[in-house]
Amino acid sequence: MWVYALSKSDRALTEQKLTPIVMNAIHGVLVSTIQTPLSPSVLTRFKYDILQRLEQEKIAYIFFDFSGLTVMDIYEFKEIENIIQMAKMMGSFSVIVGLHPGVVASLVLYDIDCLSLNTALDVDDAFTRLNIKTS
């Protein structure tokens, strides 16, 4: 139902392209592995796919794995922050994992409020911190 709230161009995009971001659900966790540049079209598609998965499946947690990205600008970060807020409204808890040290340094230099974000060193660390058994 919510898809009709998207703009005409967004709808055309979601109908035409598959997301280049790999998403795998495991142990109630949706692990999104981001290894492609976050262009506006990729982010729009990603937003659509995440919300669709949350609507259709019982997903308690989302891990956003950024280990494949060595740069993230303010636009990309804010878009991810928006997706996290949307996921929260859908009842899912988000964790950002695998941030590159250079990305962390840049985000801190931007003076962005990062303390409200849930972060972990990597996917394994996130499972451990949330006490999710994987075996």
Partner 1 sequence: MHSLTTQFTIKDEGSFQVALMSIKKIATEFGYNDTQVAQFLTAASELARNIIKYADQGSIQIRPVNKASQRGLEIAAIDHGPGIEDISLAMQENFSSGGSLGQGLPGAKRLMDEFTLASTVGQGTQVRVILWR
Q: Of 48, 10, 12, which is closest to residue 32 (Cα–Cα)? A: 48
List beta partners, residue 93: 61
Min dist. Cβ of residue 69 to partner 1 (A): 10
The C-alpha atoms of residue 29 and residue 25 are separated, in whole angstroms, by 5
Q: Toward partner 1, which CB reaches closer, 65 or 76?
A: 76
Residue closer to partner 1 by CB (options 8, 101) is: 101
CB of 64 to partner 1, least distance (A): 18
Chain residues binding partner 1 by CB under 8 A are 37, 39-41, 70-75, 78, 100-103, 105-106, 109-111
Judge whether 58 and 91 are in contact, CB under 8 Å. Answer: no
Whole-angstrom Cα distance, residue 13 to residue 42?
9
Q: How far is the CB of 106 from partner 1 (least distance, A)?
A: 4
Nearer to partner 1, 61 or 77 (CB): 77
Q: How far is the CB of 76 from partner 1 (least distance, A)?
A: 8
Nearer to partner 1, 28 or 102 (CB): 102
Please report how close the Cβ of residue 8 comes to partner 1 at its closest, in angstroms.
18
Contact 30, 51 (CB under 8 A): no
Maximum Cα–Cα distance across the chain = 44
- On the 0-12 / 13-18 / 19+ scale of CB atoms within 10 A, 90 is middle
User: Among residues 13 and 132, whose Cβ is nearest to partner 1?
Assistant: 13
